[in-house]
Amino acid sequence: MAPSRPQTVAALLADTEPFKRLTPAQRQRLVAASRERRYAKGETVFREGQPADAVCIVKEGRVHLIKFLEGGQASTTCVMTPGETFCCLPALDRKPYPADAVAAADSVVVRVPTEAFHQLLQENPTFLQDSLCLFCDRLRQVEQKSCLAYDSVERRLAQALLGLSKKFGATVPLTKHELAELAHTTVETTIRILGHFRKQGLITSARGSTTISKPETLRRLAGL
């Protein structure tokens, strides 16, 4: 069996919101302006406060958007997977990046220049509307997550696992350290609560991953 060819940038844009709403000619303009870049695990894609010079799309791997709290504690706000566009809001308001973006695995990111993106927002009303809907949905998710910060850690971890399962399926390939950052808690607390989930038969775990065994029970625990 012949190995599959890597997805081209044109094919990626054609399958990715909001770029799939562009005309083929408009997407080709973005292909010509865009650049692919590889990032090793742990490498920074951009830092909070830097000028937002590109809208980014994950082509391969996984990128986490991270805020650093007082005292240096990391809090993961979003986990971006292949085919997802991230930090697009600065393309609308031209303000700096609002968080750090770090490759959580060896990754390939397509960088679409902000100016090219903004020009198409002005040219294509459907693209503008779809972009606004996508960004508003992302903001709604962040707002909902901030409200959940007052829930118990047990509930936050259950919510984090269920949210990640929408991206990855039943097996979530995040480490306990990454889950702790996503649930705004310590690694020690995460290990303890995941152990409790495991004893209840809600999950099974392996090094670097967690598999949800009883999603409905976990959903009830999460209050969803």
Higher-confidence position of 17 and 138: 17
Confidence of residue 224 (pLDDT cuts 50, 70, 90): low
User: Are 115 and 184 found together in one domain?
Assistant: no
Q: What does the pLDDT average to over 84-88?
A: 86
Tell me whether residue 1 is in a domain.
Answer: no
CATH code, 205: 1.10.10.10
User: Are 69 and 121 found together in one domain?
Assistant: yes
Q: In b/e form, how buried is each residue of 4-43, taking b as 16+ CB within 10 angstroms?
A: eeeeebbebbeebbbbebbeeebbeebbeebeeeebeeee
N- to C-terminal Cα distance for the chain?
A: 44
Across the chain, where does the E strand assignment appear?
A: 35-39, 44-46, 54-60, 63-68, 74-80, 85-86, 100-103, 107-113, 171-172, 203-206, 209-212
Tell me whether residue 3 is in a domain.
Answer: no
Q: Which of 99, 119, 148 is the last residue of a domain?
A: 148
Tokens of 123: 């040219």
Q: What is the pLDDT of residue 3?
A: 42
CATH code, 36: 2.60.120.10
Worst-scoring range by mean pLDDT, 63-67, 88-92, 162-166, 206-210?
Answer: 88-92
Tell me whether residue 124 is in a domain.
Answer: yes
The answer to whether 4 and 98 have CB atoms below 8 angstroms apart is no
Q: What is the pLDDT of residue 149?
A: 57
Worst-scoring range by mean pLDDT, 2-11, 86-95, 168-177, 200-209?
Answer: 2-11
Q: What pLDDT digit, counting tens, does each position of 27-60 carry?
A: 999 999 999 999 999 999 999 999 999 999 999 9
User: Are 172 and 142 found together in one domain?
Assistant: no
Boundaries of domain holding 207 = 153-222
Quote the pTM value: 0.84
Q: In b/e form, how buried is each residue of 175-188, taking b as 16+ CB within 10 angstroms?
A: ebebbbbbbbbeee
Higher-confidence position of 2 and 139: 139
Q: What pLDDT digit, counting tens, does each position of 162-206 carry?
A: 999 999 999 999 999 999 999 888 999 999 999 999 999 999 998
The answer to whether 194 and 210 have CB atoms below 8 angstroms apart is yes
